[in-house]
Amino acid sequence: MKIYRFKHDGIIRHGILKEENLFSVRGSIFEGFTVEDTPVPIGEVMLLPPVEPSKIVAVGRNYKDHAAEMGNILPAEPLLFLKPSTAVIGPQDMIIYPKMSSRVDYEGELAVVMKKKAYMLDNEAPVEDYILGYTCLNDITARDLQDKDKQFTRAKSFDTFAAVGPCVVTGLDPSRLEIKTFLNGKLRQSSNTRHLIFSVPFLVRFISNVMTLLPGDIISTGTPAGVGPMQPGDRVDVQIEGIGTLSNQVLKIY
């Protein structure tokens, strides 16, 4: 099932995609819903980020080839950082190139969307029950500031630096999905989630033992090799098997 969030006739709702139509949901995508039978063509709506997370927990260096290209050793435990909720944009929004940076990179990633509040999950906990589904995320990074600051907050947190979407897909096995990133149509990252160092179930358990994950919260699982800079005017597409393509353009307004 593909869950979208969209605006139509001034109203924001969630909807399920069937062929090229969205069917609005009544109720909560986290707690249960029914589907209305009046379709709206997807081409007639404004697509929004599929959820509104309280936080994005991102994982650094979770693919061997990316750790190597950055000259980093592999972490013994997941390397976590946060991206603020104010950085989130959807599939029809622009990435704004910040004035403070002169090197802004794309990072295509598989993102986990939480369904239920998760805290201190143990090894027996059924992790799948806590996950709503999966989406694409572009973990946009001001690489020059990351190098300068020696930590991630500023580099990862500018408004528009967390592109999410286009939808949340339920019932997907996250362990073997092709993931690709294109810059202006040219392939720049190509990998498979089977190369993740720390798996999705491991990450959910691990993070839930650090902080409470709330419905709609996002875990971004890390990027494979091939990261690189974007320039104003560029278009970046993050494409994941079974989910679709998240496409955003870069804009400089300052």
- Mark 37-76 with x for binding to Mg ion (rule: CB under 5 A) and - for no binding: ----------------------------------------
Task: Assign 3-class secondary structure to the chain.
Answer: CEEEEEEECCEEEEEEEECCEEEEEEEECCCEEEEEEEEEEHHHCEEECCCCCCCEEEEECCEHHHHHHCCCCCCCCCEEEEECHHHEECCCCEEECCCCCCCEEECEEEEEEECCCECCCCCCCCHHHHEEEEEEEEECEEHHHHHHHCCCHHHHHCCCCEEEEEEEECCCCCCCCEEEEEECCEEEEEEEHHHECCCHHHHHHHHHCCCCECCCCEEECCCCCCCEEECCCCEEEEEECCCEEEEEEEECCC
- Scanning 21-29, 105-113, 117-125, 159-167 for contacts with Mg ion by CB under 5 A, the matching segment is 105-113
Find the part of the chain contacting Mg ion (CB under 5 A) among 89-97, 100-108, 189-197, 226-234: 100-108
Q: Is 97 left (phi over 0), alpha (psi -120 to 50) or beta?
A: beta
**Looking at beta carbons, which residue is closest to Mg ion?**
139
Beta partners for 227?
none
- Taking the complex as a whole, the smallest distance from the CB of residue 61 to Mg ion amounts, in Å, to 9
For Mg ion, give the closer residue by CB, 47 or 111: 111
What residues from 126 to 155 belong to the interface with Mg ion (CB under 5 A)? 139
Q: Does 107 bind Mg ion (CB under 5 A)?
A: yes
Q: Which two tokens stand for residue 22?
A: 């969205």
Q: Are 68 and 190 a contacting pair, CB within 8 Å? A: no
Q: Which residues pair with 137 in a beta bridge?
A: 109, 164
Instruction: Please say which residue, 15 or 108, places its beta carbon nearer to Mg ion.
Output: 108
> In terms of CB distance, is 208 or 221 closer to Mg ion?
221
User: Closer to Mg ion at the Cβ: 208 or 220?
Assistant: 220
Q: Which is nearer to Mg ion, 107 or 237 (CB)?
A: 107
Binding range to Mg ion, per CB under 5 A, among 16-24, 106-114, 161-169, 236-244: 106-114
Cβ proximity to Mg ion, 45 vs 59, nearer residue: 59
105 binds Mg ion (CB under 5 A): no
Q: Residue 157 or residue 223: which is nearer to Mg ion going by CB?
A: 223
Q: How far is the CB of 245 from Mg ion (least distance, A)?
A: 18
Euclidean distance between CA atoms 248 and 238, whole angstroms = 9
Q: Show the site string, 198-227: x = touches Mg ion by CB under 5 A, - = not.
A: -------------------------x----
Choose the stretch contacting Mg ion; rule: CB under 5 A; options: 4-12, 104-112, 192-200, 244-252. 104-112
Length of the chain counted residue by residue: 254
- Least distance from Mg ion to the Cβ atom of residue 202, Å: 17
Query: Where does this chain bind Mg ion (CB under 5 A)?
Result: 107, 139, 223
